[in-house]
A and B are shown apart, each in its own frame.
Chain A
Amino acid sequence: MSGAGFAFWGLYLAFALIVLAYIIWMWWVER
């Protein structure tokens, strides 16, 4: 992957990870 592609997709991947972590936290609080 080119440097541009790496920088571009990296941002979306980081966002997806934050959302996933939030969902896990929510499940943990309400379990």
Chain B
Amino acid sequence: MTQRFAIFLLYFLVVFGIGWLSLRATRDDADYWIAGGKLGWLMGGATMTATHVSAGTFIGTIGVMYTAGWSFGWVVLSIPLGYWFMAAVLAPRFTRVRELTLPAFMEMRYYDRRVRALAAAIILVATVVYVQAQIMAGGLVANVAFGVPLTWGMIGFTAILLAYTVVGGMIAVVYTDFFQLAVMILSVLAAVPLALRHLGGLDGLFEAVRAVDPAVFTFDGGLAPSLLFTMGLAFMLGSVATPEKLTRLYAMRDMRTIRRGILLTIVLATGINLLVFILALVAIALFPALPSGDLAMPMIAYSVLPSTIGTLMLAAVTAAMMSTVDSLLIIAGSALSHDIYQSVLNPAADPRRRMRVARAGVVIVGTIPVVLLLTGIGRGELVQFIVLLFTALMASSFFIPVVLGVYWRRATREGAVSAMVGGIFVTFLWKLFGAATIDPVLPGFLTSASLMVGVSLLTPAPPESALRPYFEEPATLAEGDAGSA
């Protein structure tokens, strides 16, 4: 227990230290929300990866594979394809105007402050749901590692998280993400060989898995093929369309940097997923009768790995959770402070007040999910399915307005609003009443696309001033080679 405590204490001290140092580097809004827009490919790619890899990966992905079998593995190949689309198609035009937030882009392209307020409101609500899932996973880790009650685990994790995010903003998030990613990679690289050795190597693993369930390596008996395919679509659209990913494009220096950063993300984010899959197989072989797939990872860390590596693994889960939630807090905080307060309520606020409001926004959006969880709202679902629901909501509301916004001149503000609202509405309805064999992202996405096209064609064309920044080749390539790809 002492050793476990020491490892976690060291980890938290490093994270706090980075948060404290970032306070000095944060001078204005741009530093606080997009790290000044000066990130190189290493930091940019690392923060994109750390944001992508969440408790959904370490608890949820293992949990789903534990339940569904190897066929789920093919779903994650949609992640590199999504990021590739982002680097090749979306980023060159999306970054022609460097905004601080996604709602700010929506106002610029859709020529109406109300579109920005709507986008900010959607981000706020969806983020609360997502952050809840991650905090619940954090509480689970605290429970397994130190035996603290789930409730106190959740409160403790959120408090630590808020401490460095509020102080250091995006700069703190980027540098802690780098450190947290290193913890994740180190732990997975240490845990996988040790877990395999426990079962006598890969051949031993295959044999043990087959003895428990011969269908693990087939497409039979797991998730329905239509669900696998549409989950893949959700992953792919979600890699591209979630606001925390899109603002990272603003945070990186230029297109060349973005392409390299995304290569790093593809290799590491997918690579980590593919490695933790092996741990899911180990759990199938060793603990075939767990009540929930979400327990597979903690069981391996606790009962299979040597205590140091097991603790490192739990620290990695914590790192994965924190590095995702801190980014979401920044996104939700910016939606509240930058997009709603500064843009709609008080545009004349001076810089000092704006920084205070920014920090207050992050505190508020960090506190709401815990309060909801403590009152019992949002508990109980498998972590990965909440992650997928968030991804589906983001994908069905933002993908179409963002992508068509920079590629289709005819896309209008009315089209964008109906695409966002309709996409979310249908996603929710499908989640509640639709067929469980199809991920809600597909109906949501199709609705969003049809509404965007239909409503845009029925409403007056956008003014030239809204289109010029995204459709005309920039006269001078001030931001590296932006726009050449």
CA distance in complex: A3, B210 (Å): 11
Within 55-85 of B, Cβ neighbours of A (below 8 Å) are at 70, 73-74, 77, 80-81, 84
Q: B81's contact among A2, A18, A25, by CB below 8 Å, is which? A: A18
Question: Which of A2, A12, A19, A26 sits near B206, CB closer than 8 Å?
Answer: A2
Main secondary structure of the interface of B (DSSP, over half): helix
B209 to chain A, nearest CB (A): 7
Contact B77–A14 (Cβ < 8 Å): yes
Please determine whether A30 and B256 come into contact, CB atoms closer than 8 angstroms.
yes
The answer to whether A22 touches B210, judged by C-beta atoms less than 8 angstroms apart, is no
B232-283: which residues lie under 8 A (CB-CB) from chain A? 256, 259-260, 263, 266-267, 270-271, 274, 277
A18 to B206, CA, bound (A): 26
Place the interface of chain B in its size category: 20 to 34
- Interface size on A, as a range, is 10 to 19
Known interface pairs A11-B74, A22-B80; A5-B206 also in contact (CB < 8 Å): yes
> B88 within 8 Å of A by Cβ?
yes
How far apart are A21's CB and chain B's nearest CB, in angstroms? 8
Residues of B within 8 A of A22 (CB): 80, 84, 263, 266
A23 to chain B, nearest CB (A): 7
| In the complex, chain B residues whose CB is within 8 Å of the CB of A15 | 77, 80, 270-271, 274
Q: Which of A7, A14, A19, A25 has most B Cβ within 10 Å?
A: A7
Could you say which of A8, A12, A29 contacts B259, with CB atoms under 8 Å apart? Answer: A29
* 6 closest A-B pairs by CB: A4-B206, A7-B217, A4-B217, A18-B80, A11-B73, A29-B485
Known: A4-B217, A15-B271, A30-B259. 12 other contacts (CB 8 A): A3-B217, A4-B206, A4-B210, A5-B202, A8-B70, A8-B217, A11-B77, A18-B80, A18-B84, A19-B263, A25-B88, A29-B484
